[in-house]
Structure 1
Amino acid sequence: MTDASKFQFTGSSVPNAYEEFLVPRLFEPWARLLLDEAQLIQAQIVIDVATGPGTVARCAAPMLGPKGRIVATDIARPMLDIARAKPSLPGAAPIEYVESPAAPLLASTGVFDVVLCQQGLQFFPDRPSALREMRRVLKPGGRVVIAVWTAIERNQVFAAIHTALGATTTPELSDLMTAPFSWHSTAELQMAVEEAGFHDVRILTRSLPIVFEQGVEQAMRAFSATPVSPGVAALSQSVQDAFLDRLRSELAPLVVDGKVIGEMVSNIIVAYA
């Protein structure tokens, strides 16, 4: 079984590439879809768990207005450094960035109207405790909205990367690439959320395209935004070249009018405290 907790954003190169390649093409569109389900209103208090570079928090802040408040937590300081360096948003809720694991979560009990978590839950080393912490910090009747990718085979660009890694590198690196897609069972998700004390649990499956408008070479550069890329960079040049050649071949079927377009599919969990 994949140890998803090893999929860590350390150093600065990977988080910077994540911000450049994946945030505008993947995580901002999905943040808007996640927030459609969150149904935020003015002046609410929200916590964004595993905020990364603050993508969901920053999309939510204008919805809450200046009387709202957001706490955005992440365990990766390099990600929080990127988030904190971004300019404040006029007329929006202030965002407080907090370096914190998901469990224990450094947040007060029973104060938040909504808990948000975009593509973080599957990485937490203790998922049941993280879910219980999300419930702990919610007000009675508060809402949690969590996004978790489906199986890697349904997420085409990353499936291409996974195939190329498996064909040319090591089993450890190939396995690590599956970490973001490692908790795709809707039955398991439903049970875990209910066991954490939530009720009225709904799981929605949604899809959006990821588009690399400059084509295959841009999509290949986006691999540097994954925590797998340093492991590949540590291999011999011949292995790296073989990986890139295979990745180029795997991405070719996704080219449409010069762009790489791949479907991304995520489960979105909505539940109440």
Structure 2
Amino acid sequence: MGTHSNDNVFAGSIPDLYDTYLVPLIFEPYAVDLASRVASRRPRKVLEVAAGTGVVTRELAKALPNSTVIVATDLNQPMLDRAQAVGAFRPVEWRQADAMQLPFADGEFDVVVCQFGVMFFPDKPGAFAEARRVLASGGTFVFDVWDRIEENEFAHVVTSALARLFPSSPPTFLARTPHGYHERQVIEQDLRLGGFRAEPAFQTVASRSRAASARIPAIAYCQGTPLRNEIEARGRNELSRAIDVCTAATAGKFGPGPVDGKIQAHIVTMEA
């Protein structure tokens, strides 16, 4: 599924809101899981692509010995700026880089890792080919993608509420991009087109998304992601109205707070 032009725009206040609200809401449980998988490979040098505000990077810094080099990259400099401002447990090389054209030598890394980033790549086989190129022989590419939106309750409630608020042109960012790349056959085909020949290992992992109030998921999705760009394009005052509507919808399903919803993702491990 392709992305729209604003789906990759994480700018303005989005990085700070993303890190403050969305990271603890949905990303932290999978960051710990992914870092553990990377550490089990005992790599000497790790490349993280689409690092965002650094939630996985921080877990990698805890899980890996100081002798392991960690290079964390993202296309969006504002996201990296936030990641660097928060920092990590130990030194990390932060670098702006496009996953479609990685500025690294062939075979430079033992592991390439990406948390919830491949869905945003405009040419997924091309990005996979770049990951394969920079992997050493016998290296590992590990990434995760969100399962379909119906398996991720807060995102589904927000998307449904916005469809009712804007029936003539519903904002579809969440279903279209973060939750739009989950079919195993499609992912396997893109990996083959990217030059990987081994059979990928797929694991579906469910977790829980928790917040102190129903308003937190509404703010997290409506203000802390590019969904905000879609909402604001519909009018000056629509963002605050959208947050109120999504808060009410979340409270209607889960109560006003604390709220607890299911999240689910696929973890893909690929040997080079």
TM-score norm. by structure 1 comes to 0.89
State yes or no: 1:226 paired with 2:253. no
Moved more, 104-113 or 231-240: 231-240
Is this contact kept in 1: 2:171–2:230, CA < 8 A? no
Unaligned runs of 5+ in 2: none
Change (3 A) 1:240 1:20: closer
Deviation at 1:27, TM superposition (A): 1.4
Change (3 A) 1:270 1:244: same
Matched, 1:121 2:118: yes
> Partner of 2:78 in structure 1?
78
> In structure 1, what is the Cα distance between the partners aligned to 2:36 and 2:199?
18
Name the counterpart of 2:160.
163
Query: Does the C-alpha gap of structure 1 residues 229 and 257 become closer, same or farther in structure 2, counting only changes over 3 Å?
Result: closer
User: 1:152 is matched with which residue?
Assistant: 149
1:200 shift after superposition? 3.3
Distance 1:144 1:111 in 2: 13
CA distance in 1, matches of 2:158, 2:68: 40
CA deviation profile, 1:115-155 (whole Å, cap 9, x unmatched): 10000101011110100110111110001111011111111
Residue 191 of structure 2, aligned match among 178, 190, 193? 193
Q: How does 1:1-273 map to 2 (within 5 A)?
A: 2-3=2-3, 6-40=6-40, 44-89=44-89, 92=90, 94-169=91-166, 174-178=171-175, 179-198=177-196, 199-213=198-212, 215-222=213-220, 223-236=222-235, 239-240=238-239, 243-255=242-254, 258-273=257-272
Q: Percent identity?
A: 30
Give distance in 2, aligned partners of 1:171 and 1:110: 50
4+ long deviations beyond 3 Å: 39-43, 170-173, 233-246
Paired residue secondary structure (1:197): coil
- 1:259 corresponds to which letter in structure 2? P
Pairs aligned (count):
269
Residues in 1 aligned to 2:219 and 2:8: alpha-carbon distance in whole angstroms: 19
Q: Structure 2 CA distance, aligned partners of 1:242 and 1:88?
A: 36
Tell me the SS of whatever aligns to 2:178.
helix
Cα drift, residue 14 of structure 1: 0.7
Partners of 1:203 and 1:270 within 8 A in 2? yes
Give deviations 1:213-270, integer Å, cap 9, x for gaps. Answer: 2x11222222311111143235346755653443234212542683121111111100
* Deviation for aligned residue 1:194: 3.0
Greater alpha carbon shift after TM alignment, 185-194 vs 170-179: 170-179
Please, what is the CA RMSD of the aligned residues?
A: 2.2
1:108·1:137 contact (CA, 8 Å) conserved in 2? yes
8 Å Cα contact 2:39-2:63 kept in structure 1? no
Please give the TM-score of this superposition, normalised by the length of structure 2: 0.90
Contact 1:150 1:181 in 2 (8 A): yes
